[in-house]
Structure 1
Amino acid sequence: MNNIIQLIAEKVKREIEESVIKVIEGEVNLDNIVDSVGEMVNDIGTKTMLAIIDELNDIIKKSPERSKKYHIHKSKVSRTLITRFGELEFERSYYKNIEKNNYVYILDELLGIEKYERIEGNLKGEILDKAANVSYEKAAKLSTPVPITRETVKKIIRENGVIDNLELEIKEKRKVNTIYIEADEDHVPMQNGNNREMRLIYVYDDKTEVNKGRTKLENIRYFTGEMHPEDMWLEVATYIDEAYDLDSVEKIYIAGDGANWIKSGTKIIKDSKYVLDHYHLSKYVKTITAHLGRLDNPICIEEALWEYMKAGNKKSTIEIINLAIEETPMGSKKESMKKAKRYILNNWEGIQKLFGEEKYRCSAEGHISHILSDRLSSRPMGWSVIGADEIARMRTYKANGGSIKEYYRKLRTERSKEEKKLKQDEKIINSIKRAYNNINPDIMIDMPYISRTEGRWLKDMLRSSSF
């Protein structure tokens, strides 16, 4: 142990001395020093881990408790693992359990290294965390100096699986007056050349102005995934029930672009009201009005249209839109204006909530861009359904304050416990099988309750079954 500490101290001292001399002589600059120190740190990390592993291996060998139950079958069996510091090659002993007649690497089990694992668990967690933000290839490069393929990163993500939207623990119920729910979707390019909707819903309970033009949403919680809208809304309803004291809640708003799947949330979230997103309403108003000033006989109706909608005057809104359509000579433009008219009328109730006393403003477009689009649709790529789902959930989990690395570590621990339980169950089953195989088949002929009259019910049951 002292040797490795001394070696590390000497290496660090030598690195400092050499770097200072090279800078003075003009041979290197800060960039070179960063690279050099990085290589040194990786080398020290690898040597330190080897020292720890060797020490543990030695302790296991010398343990009296070990020698009573396990005999050394092979003294030195090498294994290689990729770590954040680089490739780690070490040796450990292979033991035979003299009671159960099976074989085990005690050191591997002690360190939590899984069978056939090539990349150590902590590094997998780091790769997962980075893959949520950057490409598979870049995530590997940022995590370890050892080359790792995109396919390997993909396998690690598959191993991590789908993170549940309700995974994060809710510590206490909050008392609020109003709950805001906003929703939208991203159009994710798929490997087959088509696009697929990835939906996003988020819940918050207040807004704080950070600076001019920037608002922070308080206690925000995101939901996403490749799932039916009804299932997603049920998850949102579950979260609201667990996170809020609903007796104190007076208003619940659901805001969006008018899509039916968003409106359907009002059927699941009790006492909620739908609000149309101002951004999308503005787009359709522009469709109706933007060209009117360039006509041979220009007309200006935009201000009046907004006033009629704010006042809830549906009749005047329809009349002024019809006037704009009549004055427009282009057939194709007329069709898009009629579509915009239908959109406004279909969302009339949501428009009235938009201009109510709350003066509601929805920011779904920005959240879609930040949470989903930045990774899933802003770059030229094609996703599988599973891959897009996994990455979307990883990004929302991080946005909700969760740690991908800690989630994966917890997942590994739970799987390890489950495997031990399965092994135990397998032992029980095998013992039953052995006991059954030792029974003389001739004895089975004279089983009680089959040969005697009082056991006719069992005999009849066996005859009528497929046994």
Structure 2
Amino acid sequence: MDKLLGIEKWQRIDNCVVKKILSFIGNKKTYQDILDTMEHVKICTKTISNIMKNAKIDKEYYLNKTDKKIKIPHTLYIQIDGTYLKMWNEKKTGKKKIKKHSIFSTVYTGFDETKSTEKRPVIANKLGVIELDNIPEYIKKNSKLTNFVNKLLTLITSYYDINDNIEFMVLGDGAPWIKNMAKFIQEYFPKNKVHYTIDKFHLTSRFK
């Protein structure tokens, strides 16, 4: 059964739980928020920290996988953000505080009108990709983000039905490396219109 579920011999947490925790981190939930939400799973802060430390950048983390190509009404929205997570790295030589850099992207086709309410909008056809690393040099040097770009483009081409009439909207916090993502997507889809804008959360926070 473990082999069927893709669980290693030493692993004590189901992969679905790991992905759920990673998605919470992507939504900027604190460790305590995650513990409160997943109380039934019986995990602790050290468990969450270990999941983050053991995540590898050469492994693809796709959230909400689907076997069918998703139809896009008009625009494919690509929300991108990055964050640093502080944690303790325990080794034989001692305990050291490290920073773990995480990049998250949520891709969706707009809002689900059947599920959305006036107070709680629900985004439609949401998929996601995650990359984790220890303060990667490509962020510091603002280079082409090769690993992350490849994962994101693979997700888009594998799961969404793209044609020349589809437009892309890249949303971020204004960071130069996120702005450059729009350029990379335009290079990959030269016949499509690609836009960039600051997302609602970061835009409104600038005026508070």
TM-score scaled by structure 1? 0.28
Q: Structure 2 CA distance, aligned partners of 1:204 and 1:247?
A: 16
Q: Structure 1 CA distance, aligned partners of 2:200 and 2:63?
A: 32
Q: Which runs of 5+ in 2 are unaligned?
A: 22-33, 89-95, 139-144, 187-192
Q: Aligned residue pairs: how many?
A: 158
Shift in alpha-carbon separation, 1:185–1:250, aligned structure 2, 3 A: same
Letter in 1 for 2:71: K
Partner of residue 187, structure 1: 84
Residues 75 and 167 of structure 2 are in contact (CA less than 8 Å); yes or no, is this contact kept in structure 1? yes
Shift in alpha-carbon separation, 1:127–1:244, aligned structure 2, 3 A: closer
After superposition, residues 191-230 of structure 1 pair within 5 angstroms as 191=88, 192-193=96-97, 195-209=99-113, 210-227=116-133, 228=138, 229-230=145-146
After superposition, residues 130-145 of structure 1 pair within 5 angstroms as 132=21, 133-134=34-35, 142=42
Shift in alpha-carbon separation, 1:112–1:253, aligned structure 2, 3 A: closer
* Cα offsets for 1:143-194 (capped at 9, x unmatched): 8xxxxxx69x959x95x96751358754222332210011122331133556
Residues 63 and 127 of structure 2 are in contact (CA less than 8 Å); yes or no, is this contact kept in structure 1? no
Residues 173 and 198 of structure 2 are in contact (CA less than 8 Å); yes or no, is this contact kept in structure 1? yes
Higher relative contact order (CA 8 A, sep 6+): 2
Letter in 2 for 1:124: R
Q: Structure 1 CA distance, aligned partners of 2:106 and 2:194?
A: 14
Q: Does 1:273 align with 2:195?
A: yes
After superposition, residues 37-76 of structure 1 pair within 5 angstroms as none
Shift in alpha-carbon separation, 1:169–1:212, aligned structure 2, 3 A: closer
Q: Does 1:172 align with 2:60?
A: no
Give how far 1:219 is off: 0.9
SS at match of 1:216: coil
SS at match of 2:147: helix
Residues 175 and 248 of structure 1 are in contact (CA less than 8 Å); yes or no, is this contact kept in structure 2? no
Residues 253 and 272 of structure 1 are in contact (CA less than 8 Å); yes or no, is this contact kept in structure 2? yes
Letter in 1 for 2:162: L
Letter in 1 for 2:197: V
Report the aligned-residue RMSD: 4.1
Q: Structure 2 CA distance, aligned partners of 1:184 and 1:259?
A: 9
Letter in 2 for 1:201: S
Residues 253 and 274 of structure 1 are in contact (CA less than 8 Å); yes or no, is this contact kept in structure 2? yes
Higher-helix-fraction structure = 1
TM-score scaled by structure 2? 0.57
SS at match of 2:177: helix
* Cα offsets for 1:396-439 (capped at 9, x unmatched): xxxxxxxxxxxxxxxxxxxxxxxxxxxxxxxxxxxxxxxxxxxx
Residues 77 and 170 of structure 2 are in contact (CA less than 8 Å); yes or no, is this contact kept in structure 1? yes
Q: Structure 1 CA distance, aligned partners of 2:101 and 2:2?
A: 39
Shift in alpha-carbon separation, 1:154–1:259, aligned structure 2, 3 A: closer
Shift in alpha-carbon separation, 1:249–1:193, aligned structure 2, 3 A: farther
Q: Does 1:243 align with 2:159?
A: yes
Q: Rg: which structure is higher?
A: 1
Q: Structure 1 CA distance, aligned partners of 2:85 and 2:151?
A: 22
Q: Which runs of 5+ in 1 are unaligned?
A: 1-110, 114-119, 144-149, 287-467
Q: Structure 1 CA distance, aligned partners of 2:78 and 2:15?
A: 32
Q: Does 1:252 align with 2:203?
A: no
Higher-strand-fraction structure = 2
Q: Does 1:124 align with 2:12?
A: yes
Shift in alpha-carbon separation, 1:285–1:268, aligned structure 2, 3 A: same
Partner of residue 319, structure 1: none
Q: Percent identity?
A: 20
Q: Structure 2 CA distance, aligned partners of 1:263 and 1:280?
A: 14
Partner of residue 27, structure 2: none
SS at match of 1:234: helix
Give how far 1:263 is off: 0.6
* Cα offsets for 1:85-142 (capped at 9, x unmatched): xxxxxxxxxxxxxxxxxxxxxxxxxx989xxxxxx9598244983794549xx898x3
